[in-house]
């Protein structure tokens, strides 16, 4: 490089520096766009929650924080179990993520995937809105992200293309797609099924081709992804686990914002989380559960289990529950069990 050029470059750098120093703190270090990761888009309650959050943030920060949605976990090529690491590393700025997808990195998040821990919505709320939720947020914070609010994917019900499932024996030999943690492999193995782990992106073509027989996902995912069109004709309502969603921000991104903007982003997340949970439960908590009527109307056979039938699934997965209780942390699981027993129904 010629000396003249070097001088010019130096002069430019100095000018840029003094300009930076002259900017108000609120505009320094801000990116022109923040990348929000989501597994599914705005046709799903989950993606809708991300959109609501982004809109509220834009409003509350006067456009200083501008968020773009990346559904399909496209920032990490669809590999949803890498989302948490990517968040920590700053490949992703913020996310509304499922506890299931982050559980390979954060053991405590397997709590929500313990089979038959949470019998009803009040039980989910007792965990996320109470001491357990606070403890999990402290764990997430220690793991390197800033957790702000809870959302909900929902109760994960079982579907398959082969036949009605009413007993664990009916699952024998069925190839079931699962995601995330090895806990899911253990649960479905205990039930006599043949579980196989794959991403949501890979799962849908696998249903269509018949490479796998079944899966488990919330009803809102089932309908928005139109799983009845890829052979998923038999649905069993067993409510064995539910995955909450967590609204989080990367730590460096968070630290670069002014305290007032951080508060605005937190408030937006809390409001969006509440709205998102209401959308996720829509059609499932009203009398007659209209969402289930829609699904039945699409030619899906829906099986409701009697308490005794459900109990057979609980018994079959009890050893898995006990094994994972230790791995998740006996104290945390005990705290969760107590909170659920004391819940207001």
DSSP secondary structure, 84-148, as one string: HHHHHHTSSSEEEEEHHHHTTT-GGGGGGGSTT---SHHHHHHHHTSHHHHHHHHHHHHTTEEEE
Instruction: Find the shortest distance in angstroms from Cβ 200 to ligand X2X.
Output: 3
| Residues counted in the chain | 345
Q: Is residue 280 a contact partner of residue 151, using CB atoms and an 8 Å limit?
A: yes
Pick the closest to residue 143 from 96, 183, 181, 104 (CA basis). Answer: 104
Minimum CB separation from ligand X2X for residue 59, in Å? 28
> Which residue of the chain is nearest ligand X2X when measured via CB?
200
What does the block give as tokens for 296?
Answer: 């039945």
User: Which positions ≥6 away from 303 have C-beta within 8 Å?
Assistant: 164, 165, 166, 234, 235, 236, 237
> What's the closest the beta carbon of residue 136 comes to ligand X2X, in angstroms?
17
φ and ψ at residue 181, rounded to 5 degrees: -80, 150
Q: Whose Cβ is closer to ligand X2X: residue 188's or residue 200's?
A: 200
Name which of 73 and 316 has its Cβ closer to ligand X2X. 73
* Backbone φ, ψ for residue 77 (5° rounding): 50, 35
Between 120 and 202, whose beta carbon lies closer to ligand X2X? 202
How far, in Å, CA of 36 to CA of 254, rounded?
13
d(CA 116, CA 238): 9
- Nearer CB in complex with ligand X2X: 39/292: 39
Q: With respect to ligand X2X, which residue has the nearer C-beta, 244 or 283? A: 244
- Provide, rounded to whole angstroms, the least separation between the CB of residue 180 and ligand X2X: 6
In DSSP notation, 216-227 reads EEEHHHHHHTTG
- Tokens (6 digits) for 287: 């009398």
Structure tokens of 163?
């036949």
- Nearest CA among 41, 94, 83, 97 for reference residue 221: 41
Q: Which residue ranges make up the site for ligand X2X (CB under 6 A)?
A: 39-40, 80, 98, 100-101, 153, 179, 200, 217, 221, 243
Distance CA 176, CA 168 (A): 13
- Closer to ligand X2X by CB, 231 or 262: give it: 231
Neighbours of 227 (CB within 10 A): 25
Min separation Cβ 98 and ligand X2X, Å:
4
Strand partners, 178: 197
Q: Which is nearer to ligand X2X, 180 or 283 (CB)?
A: 180
C-beta of 200 vs 313, nearer to ligand X2X: 200
Shortest CB 99 distance to ligand X2X, Å = 8
For the bound state, the minimum distance from the C-beta of residue 243 to ligand X2X, rounded and expressed in Å, comes to 6
- Least separation in angstroms between residue 111's CB and ligand X2X is 15
Minimal distance, residue 260 CB to ligand X2X, in Å: 33
Q: Which structure tokens are listed for 82? A: 């890498």
- Residue 186 has, within 13 A of its CA and on its CB side, a CA count of 17
Nearer to ligand X2X, 101 or 105 (CB): 101
């Amino acid at each position: 490089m010629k000396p003249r050029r070097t001088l010019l470059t130096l002069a430019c750098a100095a000018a840029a520096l003094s300009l930076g120093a002259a900017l108000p703190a609120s505009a320094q270090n801000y990116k022109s766009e923040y990348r929000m990761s989501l597994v599914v888009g705005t046709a799903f309650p989950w993606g809708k929650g991300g959109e609501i959050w982004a809109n509220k943030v834009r409003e509350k920060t006067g456009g200083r924080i501008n968020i773009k949605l990346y559904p399909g976990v496209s920032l990490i090529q669809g590999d949803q179990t890498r989302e948490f690491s990517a968040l920590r590393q700053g490949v992703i700025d913020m996310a509304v993520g499922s506890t299931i997808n982050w559980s390979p990195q954060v053991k405590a998040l397997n709590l929500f995937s313990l089979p038959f821990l949470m019998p009803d919505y009040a039980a989910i709320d007792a965990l996320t809105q109470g001491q357990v939720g606070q403890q999990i947020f402290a764990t997430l914070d220690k793991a390197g992200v800033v957790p702000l609010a809870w959302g909900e994917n929902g109760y994960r019900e079982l579907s398959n293309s082969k036949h009605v499932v009413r007993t664990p024996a009916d699952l024998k030999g069925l190839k079931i797609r699962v995601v995330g943690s090895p806990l899911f492999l253990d649960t479905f193995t205990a039930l006599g099924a043949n579980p196989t782990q794959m991403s949501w992106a890979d799962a849908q073509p696998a249903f269509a081709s018949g490479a796998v027989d079944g899966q488990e996902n919330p009803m809102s995912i089932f309908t928005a992804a139109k799983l009845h069109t890829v052979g998923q004709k038999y649905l069993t309502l067993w409510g064995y686990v539910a995955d909450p969603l967590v609204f989080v921000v990367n730590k460096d991104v968070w630290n670069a914002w002014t305290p007032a903007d951080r508060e605005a982003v937190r408030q937006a997340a809390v409001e969006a989380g509440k709205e998102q949970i209401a959308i996720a439960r829509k059609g499932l908590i009203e009398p007659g559960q209209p969402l289930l009527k829609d699904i039945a109307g699409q030619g899906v056979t829906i099986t409701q289990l009697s308490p005794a039938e459900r109990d057979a699934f609980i018994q079959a997965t009890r050893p898995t529950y006990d094994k994972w209780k230790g791995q998740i942390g006996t104290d945390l699981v005990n705290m969760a069990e107590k909170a659920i027993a004391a819940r207001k129904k």
